[in-house]
């Protein structure tokens, strides 16, 4: 059985300790560290009927907790402990938001401006596009120090515009980010080559989804099935809306907010049910270009969740990534076809009362971006987006984007996987041939013209 490429292993001392604990567990026939499921479950307990009036019933978040605990039981002891800490941080953050919103009941009535959502396939330019769009002086995009679950109760109250630039959470988040690479320095260094990480960076709003236990697991299908479940995602997006209302209650945008996550591609029907007036930008790229780089990154991430004594088959990584891309592309394609034929009906939910719930989703709410076109001329791409959505495009906005591109050349000229590296990854992980992928994803490629 082949294991993933292990060029990003944790430090030797950490790895040796983890192996030692694995051996102890084998000898005693019991875990040396068990996930405290009862204590974690206590953090999910509702604050009476008031919570349901604002957040609705959320039984599938509890189901996700059970699935994650089951998944964590398969991890090595130190990874199990680390994962439990992440789950606890997410639940404490969730509880803090619920208490904050219930204490300030007016927050749930704050109208959100139409979100501009960047989603689509991974490794197709979404991060670059998000940061260009955030250059608009009228936009409000969200930074890591406003969303990270590891900050827990320190996230509330949210930062105000006056104290935004020197908010104490910037230093707190900076310390958290310094601690992470100590687990696997070479892994984080390689990640930073393509994706900077700084407390003030505009980040993926999946950081907020994690408060509702939106985690992925390569070793547990129950977790993936819930992530693909529209009812669970409806619970997640109701929480997201309340969180955004809290953020904008202390720092209101001039015109619109910007959201970004590739994971939204799995569940846009639920997203649009909570944000029916959203304007959605989907980034596209040829699947044969996406799958090798996604597989390699996923293998590196998975190497942090499994010890060398319990290797993960390469075929498992490839299968997981292929399934992710298949579900994303199929979901995007299915939604667009349903919207074009007026077959899409939003799911009723407590966060979207009339008249917003009566909004008819239109094909005009979508704009498709080719990865190659974006990299070739990012400024022209953003201009086309603004023209499509009939949004004002200012000279200050263009000037800020050009300055961003000048100051951040790695993002303007994205480093892509070379031909030889791609071939090595394809061979090592048994990635299907280009012809096989073209055939498997033919409908997606044809519909979106990639």
The pLDDT of residue 10 is 52
The model's pLDDT over 414-441, given as tens digits with 9 standing for 90+, comes to 455 677 887 888 888 999 999 999 999 9
The pLDDT of residue 309 is 45
What the chain holds in terms of domains, given with CATH numbers, is 12-448 (3.40.50.300)
Q: Residue 317 pLDDT > 50, yes or no?
A: yes
* Pair of tokens at residue 380: 């022209």
The pLDDT of residue 219 is 74
pLDDT class of 305 with cuts at 50, 70, 90: low
Q: Residue 413 pLDDT > 60, yes or no?
A: no
Q: Residue 158 pLDDT > 90, yes or no?
A: yes
The pLDDT of residue 16 is 78
Per-residue b/e over 383-415, b at no fewer than 16 CB within 10 Å?
Answer: eebbeebebeeeeebeebbeebbeeeeebbebe
The pLDDT of residue 417 is 66
Nearest to 142 by CA among 197, 96, 204: 204
Q: Which residue has the tokens 């040829």?
A: 286
The pLDDT of residue 143 is 95
The pLDDT of residue 327 is 96
Q: Which helix (H) or strand (E) holds 86?
A: helix 77-103
Q: Does 76 or 145 have the greater pLDDT score?
A: 145
Estimate to the nearest angstrom the gap between the alpha carbon of 176 and the chain centroid.
19
For 42, 52, 131, 263, the CA distances from 234, given in Å and listed in that order, are 22, 14, 27, 14
* Pair of tokens at residue 352: 């979207």
The pLDDT of residue 124 is 94
Q: How far is the C-alpha of 124 from the C-alpha of 286, rounded, in Å?
A: 9
Tell me the chain's radius of gyration from C-alpha atoms: 22
- The partner residues of 366 in beta bridges, in order of sequence, read 280
Which whole number is the average pLDDT over 279-299? Answer: 93
Per-residue b/e over 154-168, b at no fewer than 16 CB within 10 Å?
Answer: ebbebbeeeebeebe
Q: What is the pLDDT of the chain when averaged over all its residues?
A: 87
The model's pLDDT over 10-37, given as tens digits with 9 standing for 90+, comes to 555 667 787 788 888 888 988 888 889 8
Handedness of CA 90, 94, 100, 103 (dihedral sign): negative
pLDDT class of 5 with cuts at 50, 70, 90: very low
Q: Residue 39 pLDDT > 50, yes or no?
A: yes
What percent of the chain shows pLDDT beyond 70? 88
Q: Global pTM? A: 0.92
Nearest to 307 by CA among 37, 82, 64, 43: 82
* Pair of tokens at residue 318: 């490839």
Q: Residue 141 pLDDT > 50, yes or no?
A: yes
89 in helix, strand or coil? helix
pLDDT class of 308 with cuts at 50, 70, 90: very low
Q: Are 308 and 9 in contact (CB under 8 A)?
A: yes
The pLDDT of residue 133 is 98
Strand order in the sheet with 279-284: 139-140, 256-260, 116-120, 279-284, 366-370
The pLDDT of residue 321 is 94
Q: Residue 398 pLDDT > 90, yes or no?
A: yes
The pLDDT of residue 360 is 86
The model's pLDDT over 189-238, given as tens digits with 9 standing for 90+, comes to 555 554 557 889 999 999 999 999 999 888 788 998 999 999 999 999 99
The model's pLDDT over 344-394, given as tens digits with 9 standing for 90+, comes to 989 999 999 887 767 889 999 999 999 999 999 999 999 999 999 999 999
128 in helix, strand or coil? helix
Collect all residues with Cβ–Cβ distance below 8 Å to 165 and sequence separation of at least 6: none
């Amino acid at each position: 059985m082949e294991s993933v490429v292990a060029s990003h292993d944790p430090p030797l001392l950490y790895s040796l300790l983890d192996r030692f604990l694995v051996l102890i567990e084998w000898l005693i026939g019991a875990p040396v560290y068990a996930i405290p499921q009862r204590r974690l479950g206590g953090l999910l307990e509702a604050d009476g009927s008031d919570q349901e009036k604002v957040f609705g019933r959320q039984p599938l978040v509890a189901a996700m907790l059970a699935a994650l605990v089951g998944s964590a039981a398969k991890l090595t002891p130190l990874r199990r402990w680390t994962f439990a800490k992440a789950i606890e941080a997410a639940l404490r953050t969730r509880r803090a938001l619920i208490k904050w919103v219930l204490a300030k009941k007016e927050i749930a009535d704050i109208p959100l401006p139409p979100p501009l959502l960047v989603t689509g396939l991974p490794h197709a330019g979404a991060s670059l596009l998000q940061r260009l769009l955030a250059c608009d002086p009228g936009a409000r995009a969200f930074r890591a120090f406003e969303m990270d679950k590891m900050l827990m109760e320190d996230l509330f109250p949210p930062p105000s515009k006056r104290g935004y630039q020197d908010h104490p959470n910037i230093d707190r988040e900076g310390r958290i980010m310094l601690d992470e690479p100590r687990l696997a320095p070479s892994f984080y260094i390689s990640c930073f080559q393509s994706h900077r990480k700084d407390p003030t960076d505009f980040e993926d709003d999946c950081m907020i989804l994690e408060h509702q236990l939106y985690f992925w697991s390569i070793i547990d299908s129950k977790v993936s099935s819930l992530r693909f479940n529209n009812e669970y995602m409806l619970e997640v997006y109701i929480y997201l809306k309340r969180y955004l209302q809290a953020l904008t209650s202390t720092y209101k945008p001039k015109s619109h907010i910007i959201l970004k996550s590739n994971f939204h591609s799995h569940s846009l029907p639920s997203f649009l049910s909570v944000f029916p007036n959203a304007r959605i930008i989907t980034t596209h790229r040829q699947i044969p270009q996406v799958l090798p780089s996604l597989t390699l990154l996923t293998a590196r991430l998975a190497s942090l969740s499994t010890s060398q004594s319990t290797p993960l088959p390469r075929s498992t990584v490839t299968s997981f990534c292929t399934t992710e891309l298949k579900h994303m592309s199929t979901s995007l394609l299915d939604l667009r076809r349903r919207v074009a034929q007026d077959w899409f009906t939003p799911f009723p939910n407590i966060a979207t009362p009339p008249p917003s719930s009566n909004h008819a989703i239109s094909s005009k709410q979508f704009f498709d971006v080719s990865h190659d076109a974006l990299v070739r001329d990012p400024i022209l791409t953003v201009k086309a987006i603004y023209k499509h959505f009939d949004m004002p495009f200012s000279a200050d906005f263009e000037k800020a984007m050009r300055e961003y591109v000048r100051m951040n050349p790695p993002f303007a000229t994205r480093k892509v996987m070379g031909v030889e590296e791609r071939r090595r990854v394809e061979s090592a992980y048994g990635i299907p041939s280009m012809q096989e992928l073209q055939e498997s994803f033919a409908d997606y490629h044809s519909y979106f013209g990639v």
